[in-house]
Amino acid sequence: MKITVIGAGVVGLSVAYELASRGATVGIVDARGVALGATHATAGMLAPHIEAHSDALLTLGVSGLALYDDFIARLRHDAQQAIDYRRTGTLQVGRSAAEAQALREASQRLTARRTPHALLDAAGARLMEPALGDVAGALHIPEHGYVAVPGMVSALVAALARRQVAVSRAQVTDPTSLDADAIVIAAGSWIGDLLPPGPTVPVRPIRGQLLHLRLGRPPASRVLWGERCYIVPWQDGSVLVGATTEDVGFDETPTVAGVRELLDAATELLPELATASFHEVRAGLRPATADELPIIGQSATMRRVFYATGHYRSGVLLSPFTAGAIGDLILEGRARPELELVRPDRFGL
Ligand SMILES: Cc1cc2nc3c(=O)[nH]c(=O)nc-3n(C[C@H](O)[C@H](O)[C@H](O)COP(=O)(O)OP(=O)(O)OC[C@H]3O[C@@H](n4cnc5c(N)ncnc54)[C@H](O)[C@@H]3O)c2cc1C
């Protein structure tokens, strides 16, 4: 079967990798090149119990997280590359009595869902992460983690190349004009460019700015999550600090205000970051739908077309799930039960 994937972000690359692994003949088309959309700015956190603000998103996120170990193991093997992927947990840090109280309430919700976690007092939090600034209480969720996305992308590209799948540079305007048995739209925030004129575009771009700092060694052993920012320490001493959430249209420019806000918040959480070197600021457009759930499945109006878009804040977390679900749909005609939550026809697609 011949399949074209539009979009070489983390979602499109993962979908292409899954389809090619299962024997399909795959081509990828991207207007910019590899991982230059939202994927370029992502933090790569895998933290559904913090990020999911609805039951449906939590269901998807937990399904996605459960697939990660196997997906990365397969990818490391196929690409013969190392990937910095660790499930060392998240530590949410409350700096005031009110924030500590909010963590106690979050702990009750986790208990009700039987999610393993530990509620810590200030001493317990400091024992776990000695470099913390002010802390009144903390919440540890051990099954969370992160993946360093540049390494994951590089491995996806290498694994795809081994299966003779390349990324060609082109702007697609009409997906139905493509010569393929199936077309997967993984165009992130730009899905509107690919739809026929008609109903309003179901995805809007939400800008996020992310800092890349560097220290000689990781300043913490796990992802730290404060009220105003999160910090992702990679094993090579890189430290990601994210992220702003800005509804500013298709503007991918980082701003002074965004950088200042993140630096203030990060040095409050981990004072040692004041000594870090400043490597880069990145900005990306998260593809957000009205219900903040992705759009995954077959088009109701264009039968050769499948959507894998609208992943908003969870595109990295959900990539293995989306890839597997699209593979099942196109190659086996089988719909995973979770796809009921993310049907394209809820937006008339
Ligand atoms: C600051 C920030 C932090 C984030 N942190 C996390 C996190 O910790 N964990 C997590 O899971 N997610 C996170 N996200 C969200 C995640 O990055 C996105 O959900 C994900 O990158 C979306 O991937 P994508 O492949 O769908 O889109 P993109 O990466 O945007 O890729 C879409 C691609 O489609 C191409 N394209 C579009 N239209 C066309 C066309 N007509 N023709 C050809 N090509 C086209 C574009 O050029 C682009 O390369 C974060 C996002 C941001 C911005």
Q: Which amino acid is at 263?
A: L
| Residues pairing with 185 in the sheet | 6, 307
Using a pLDDT cut of 90, give the percent of the chain over it: 96
Q: In angstroms, rounded to a whole number, what is the distance separating the alpha carbons of residues 9 and 122?
A: 40
Q: In angstroms, rounded to a whole number, what is the distance separating the alpha carbons of residues 246 and 238?
A: 25
Domain covering 87-144+205-289: architecture? 2-Layer Sandwich (3.30)
Confidence check: pLDDT of 200 > 80? no
Alpha carbon nearest to ligand 1 atom 26, residue? 188
Confidence check: pLDDT of 51 > 90? no
Report DSSP letters for 169-217, one per residue: E---S-GGGS-SSEEEE--GGGGGGGSPSSSPPSEEEEEEEEEEEE-SS
Alpha carbon nearest to ligand 1 atom 48, residue? 37
29 CA closest ligand 1 atom index: 43
Tell me the CA–centroid distance for residue 109 and ligand 1, in Å: 30
Instruction: Please report which confidence band the pLDDT of residue 52 belongs to, taking 50, 70 and 90 as the band edges.
Output: confident
Please give the pLDDT value at position 111: 97
Instruction: Please report which confidence band the pLDDT of residue 201 belongs to, taking 50, 70 and 90 as the band edges.
Output: confident
Tell me the CA–centroid distance for residue 162 and ligand 1, in Å: 24
Q: Which mutation among 313, 314, 321, 342 tests ligand 1's pocket best, with the greatest number of atoms within 8 A of CB?
A: 313
Tokens of 47: 């933290």
According to DSSP, the β-strands at 90-94 and 223-225 are: parallel
Task: Please check whether the domain covering 2-84+148-201+291-347 is classified as CATH 3.10.20.810.
Answer: no
Q: In angstroms, rounded to a whole number, what is the distance separating the alpha carbons of residues 335 and 349?
A: 17
Question: Is there an atom of ligand 1 within 6 Å of 171 CB?
Answer: yes
Please give the pLDDT value at position 272: 97
Contact 239, 217 (CB under 8 A): no
33 CA closest ligand 1 atom index: 49
Q: How far is CA 25 from the centre of its chain?
A: 26
Contact 154, 180 (CB under 8 A): no
According to DSSP, the β-strands at 182-185 and 2-6 are: parallel
Question: Is there an atom of ligand 1 within 6 Å of 178 CB?
Answer: no
Between the two ends of the chain, the Cα-to-Cα distance in Å is 24
Kindly report the average pLDDT of the chain as a whole number.
97
Q: In angstroms, rounded to a whole number, what is the distance separating the alpha carbons of residues 315 and 195?
A: 21
The per-residue pLDDT for range 136-165, each reduced to its tens digit, is: 999 999 999 999 999 999 999 999 999 999
Confidence check: pLDDT of 199 > 70? no
Q: Calculate mean pLDDT across residues 67-96.
A: 98
From edge to edge, which strands make up the β-sheet containing 305-309? 167-169, 25-30, 2-6, 182-185, 305-309, 295-298
Domain with CATH 3.30.9.10 in the chain: 87-144+205-289
Question: Which of these ranges, 2-16, 185-199, 273-287, has the smallest mean pLDDT?
Answer: 185-199
Report DSSP letters for 3-63, one per residue: EEEE--SHHHHHHHHHHHHTT-EEEEEESS-TT-SGGGG---EE-HHHH--SHHHHHHHHH
Q: Calculate mean pLDDT across residues 331-343.
A: 97
Question: Is there an atom of ligand 1 within 6 Å of 37 CB?
Answer: yes
Q: Which mutation among 39, 222, 246 tests ligand 1's pocket best, with the greatest number of atoms within 8 A of CB?
A: 39
Question: Is there an atom of ligand 1 within 6 Å of 44 CB?
Answer: yes
Domain with CATH 3.50.50.60 in the chain: 2-84+148-201+291-347
Using a pLDDT cut of 70, give the percent of the chain over it: 100
Alpha carbon nearest to ligand 1 atom 33, residue? 7
